[in-house]
Amino acid sequence: MAGPEWESLEQCLEKHLPPADLREVKRILYGKETRKLDLPSRAFEAASEGDFELQGYAFEAAEEQLRPPRTVRVGLVQNRTPLPADAPVAKQVTALHRRIESIVEVAAVCGVNIICFQEAWTMPFAFCTREKLPWTEFAESAEDGPTSRFCQKLAKKHNMVVVSPILERDREHGDVLWNTAVVISNSGAVLGKTRKNHIPRVGDFNESTYYMEGNLGHPVFQTQFGRIAVNICYGRHHPLNWLMYSINGAEIIFNPSATIGALSESLWPVEARNAAIANHCFTCAINRVGKEYFPNEFTSGDGKKAHQDFGYFYGSSYVAAPDSSRTPGLSRTRDGLLVAELDLNLCRQVNDIWNFKMTGRYEMYAQELTEAVKPNYSPNVVKE
């Protein structure tokens, strides 16, 4: 596994390959080349001053006679936690709000219409510890908590849809906790929320100590800029999860995550991209950055020695298109903003070419899965 100091795959390729070879390798790795966006110089200046990376790319569709282009700009934000995990809860939240606000300001300069933050962005990813306090104090109401109110102001100020993944406390149902993404309309209203459908139970991912699988299904949000869905973190490992968002009409599926190199880095470039191909939609994979240290040691029950960190969050956020092309990833080591301009007409154009939905045979799988989940199911194995 590459160490934290290793900046990115792209940087390594650019450093060691001649230009002609680099173009061919990128064609094979990333599909059709995405055009670099001509972002304002003041955006790059602000990013440099704020010490975060800024990249911009465009996915283009074929010109049509009856439909004008349906272009939308999305922003993906990856960041580390500015304060140590043992700092007071309120100070950590305030510091993260300020950090995100500065990045959103640059996104607005870049013309971003929809922005998405990383999983549980208002806190350290402390679910590895199995401790309840102080970590459950980061939980907030999705509808009117301080982070949703903060995002409402940003959304209204910048005419921007905001996808805000938080630790939710559901006051109406016994103060239960959920891993939730709140979707704020560009009008400033809370459009709705979705919850994490699949909860990991592997290594230090002790999340079911805090919350269980979501109960809201696969909602798709109709925004002014297109139909969006949010497949939170571990849900990207489950193809049917992506499929249901697509069946419900999602044109862009965000995947806000918090995942570490030792477990998933080899999967990361594949899963969201494959989902974009299989479901004729755009996917946006977002991961946090850095290493977070906790006050008390914890164990994983896997024979490893007690430790105080979860592992290295490797960033590498990217956008993938239904035609198999994708952007380069953001840095593995730095905070960053990735701006991508999408022509949503590409979704239907690729659908018309490959016909995955027409050839999907959903009725066959629905029937077989209905049988497979029954307690007395017998697998269809043909024997001599």
Say if CB 5 and CB 11 are below 8 A apart. Answer: no
Q: Per the residue annotation, which of 60, 151, 193, 196 is the catalytic one?
A: 196
- Give the list of residues 6+ apart from residue 343 with CB closer than 8 angstroms, or none: 59, 60, 61, 69, 70, 71
**DSSP labels for 147-175?**
HHHHHHHHHHHHT-EEEEEEEEEEGGGTT
> What is the rounded CA–CA span in Å between residue 182 and residue 147?
10
119 is annotated as an active-site residue: yes
C-alpha distance from residue 287 to each of 63, 118, 135, 344 (Å)? 33, 6, 20, 24
305 is annotated as an active-site residue: no
* Neighbouring C-alpha atoms within 13 Å toward the C-beta of 69: 12
> What is the rounded CA–CA span in Å between residue 326 and residue 75?
15
Say if CB 286 and CB 314 are below 8 A apart. Answer: no
12 is annotated as an active-site residue: no
Backbone angles phi, psi at 114, to 5 degrees: -135, 130
> What is the rounded CA–CA span in Å between residue 371 and residue 374?
6
* Pairing label, strands 114-116, 161-170: parallel
Q: Per the residue annotation, which of 110, 233, 284, 347 is the catalytic one?
A: 233
> What is the rounded CA–CA span in Å between residue 52 and residue 101?
13
Say if CB 58 and CB 341 are below 8 A apart. Answer: yes
For 306, the 3-state DSSP assignment is coil
* Neighbouring C-alpha atoms within 13 Å toward the C-beta of 125: 29
Provide long-range contacts, Cβ within 8 A and 24+ apart, for 201-206: 202/263, 203/263, 203/300, 203/302, 204/128, 204/298, 204/300, 204/310, 204/311, 205/127, 205/128, 205/234, 206/127, 206/128, 206/129, 206/130
Q: Per the residue annotation, which of 10, 53, 60, 119 is the catalytic one?
A: 119
- Quick one: CA torsion of 30, 79, 344, 346, rounded to 10 degrees? 10
Active site residues: 119, 196, 233
